[in-house]
A and B are shown apart, each in its own frame.
Chain A
Amino acid sequence: MTVSLKAVTPLLEKGRSTEKGGGTGSATRERRVGQQTLLFRSRPRVVAAAAVAGPKESQGPLAAYWDRTYQDHLLGQRSWERAERQMCLDAANLALEKAGLRPPDIDLHLGGDLMNQLTCANFAAVELDIPFVGLFAACATWAEELAVAAMATDAGFARRVLCTTSSHHDTAERQYRFPTELGNQKPACAQWTATGAAAAIIAAPGGDEEGRTGDTDAPSEAEEGGNGQGAPGHRRAAREPAMSAHGDGTARPAARRGGSVRITHATFGRVIDMGLTDPMNMGAAMAPAAADTIRQHLQDTGRQPGDYDLIVTGDLARYGHRLLVQLLREQGYDAEGVLADCGILLYDASQGVFAGGSGAACSAMVMAGYLLRRLETGDLRRILLVCTGCLHSTTTYKQGESLPTVAHAVVLEAGQ
Chain B
Amino acid sequence: MARASKDQTQAYQQAVQHVLPPKPIARNTLMAFLVGGTITTAGQVVMNLLLAAGLPRTEATSWTSVVFILIGLLLTGLGVYDKIGSVGGMGAFLPITGFANSIGSAAMEFKREGWVLGVGAGIFQIAGPVVVYGLAAAAVVAGVTHLLQGARAALGMP
Q: Which residues of A contact B2 (CB under 8 A)?
A: 11, 270-273, 292
Q: How far is the CA of A11 from the CA of B3 in the complex (A)?
A: 8
Q: Which residues of A contact B9 (CB under 8 A)?
A: 274-276, 402
Q: Does any Cβ of A come within 8 Å of B64's Cβ?
A: no
Q: Does any Cβ of A come within 8 Å of B58's Cβ?
A: no
A182→B101 contact, CB < 8 A: yes
Q: Does any Cβ of B come within 8 Å of A99's Cβ?
A: no
Among B11, B79, B101, contact of A4 (Cβ-Cβ < 8 Å): B11
Q: Does any Cβ of A come within 8 Å of B36's Cβ?
A: no
The distance from the CB of B62 to the nearest CB of chain A, in whole angstroms, is 24
B19→A319 contact, CB < 8 A: yes
A179→B93 contact, CB < 8 A: no
Per-residue interface assignment for chain B, residues 1 to 21, with 1 indicating a CB less than 8 Å from any chain A CB and 0 otherwise: 011111111111111101111
Q: Which chain B residues in 87-111 approach chain A with CB under 8 Å?
A: 87-89, 92-93, 98, 101-102, 104-106, 108-110
Q: Does any Cβ of B come within 8 Å of A368's Cβ?
A: no
Q: Given A8-B4, A11-B8, A183-B92, do A174 and B15 touch, yes or no (CB 8 Å)?
A: no
Among B7, B8, B104, B106, contact of A274 (Cβ-Cβ < 8 Å): B8
B11→A284 contact, CB < 8 A: no
Q: How far is the CA of A2 from the CA of B18 in the complex (A)?
A: 8
Q: Which residues of B contact A11 (CB under 8 A)?
A: 2, 4-5, 8
B16→A181 contact, CB < 8 A: no
Q: What's the tally of chain B residues with a CB closer than 8 Å to chain A? A: 48
Q: Which residues of B contact A1 (CB under 8 A)?
A: 18
Of A42-50, A56-64, A137-145, A186-194, the one with at least 4 CB within 8 A of chain B: A186-194
Q: Which residues of A contact B152 (CB under 8 A)?
A: none
Q: Which residues of A contact B13 (CB under 8 A)?
A: 275-276
Q: How far is the CA of A178 from the CA of B102 in the complex (A)?
A: 10
A184→B15 contact, CB < 8 A: no
Among B11, B20, B82, contact of A180 (Cβ-Cβ < 8 Å): B82
The distance from the CB of B100 to the nearest CB of chain A, in whole angstroms, is 10
* CB-nearest residue of chain B to A326: B15
* CB-nearest residue of chain A to B22: A188
* CB-nearest residue of chain A to B113: A79
B11→A181 contact, CB < 8 A: no
B16→A276 contact, CB < 8 A: yes
Q: Does any Cβ of B come within 8 Å of A238's Cβ?
A: no
The distance from the CB of B78 to the nearest CB of chain A, in whole angstroms, is 9
Q: How far is the CA of A402 from the CA of B3 in the complex (A)?
A: 10
Q: Does any Cβ of A come within 8 Å of B146's Cβ?
A: no
Q: Which residues of B contact A275 (CB under 8 A)?
A: 3-4, 6, 8-9, 12-13
Among B3, B85, B110, B112, contact of A185 (Cβ-Cβ < 8 Å): B85
Q: Does any Cβ of B come within 8 Å of A78's Cβ?
A: yes
The distance from the CB of B107 to the nearest CB of chain A, in whole angstroms, is 9
B14→A3 contact, CB < 8 A: yes
Q: Does any Cβ of B come within 8 Å of A288's Cβ?
A: yes
A181→B82 contact, CB < 8 A: yes
* CB-nearest residue of chain B to A319: B19
Q: Which residues of A contact B81 (CB under 8 A)?
A: 181, 183
Q: Which residues of B contact A237 (CB under 8 A)?
A: none
* CB-nearest residue of chain A to B32: A185
Q: Which residues of B contact A174 (CB under 8 A)?
A: 109
A182→B102 contact, CB < 8 A: yes
Q: How far is the CA of A239 from the CA of B101 in the complex (A)?
A: 50
Among B5, B16, B23, B126, contact of A179 (Cβ-Cβ < 8 Å): B126
Q: Which residues of A contact B77 (CB under 8 A)?
A: 181
* CB-nearest residue of chain A to B107: A179
A7→B8 contact, CB < 8 A: yes
Q: Does any Cβ of B come within 8 Å of A51's Cβ?
A: no
Which residues of B approach A to under 8 Å, CB–CB? 2-16, 18-21, 23-24, 28, 76-77, 79, 81-89, 92-93, 98, 101-102, 104-106, 108-110, 112, 125-126
**Chain A to chain B contacts (Cβ below 8 Å), 8 pairs:** A5-B11, A7-B8, A7-B12, A180-B105, A181-B81, A183-B101, A270-B2, A276-B12
3 nearest interchain CB pairs? Answer: A183-B85, A275-B9, A7-B11
Given contacts A5-B15, A275-B12, 9 further A-B contacts (CB under 8 A): A7-B11, A8-B12, A181-B82, A183-B83, A185-B87, A188-B20, A274-B12, A275-B6, A284-B16
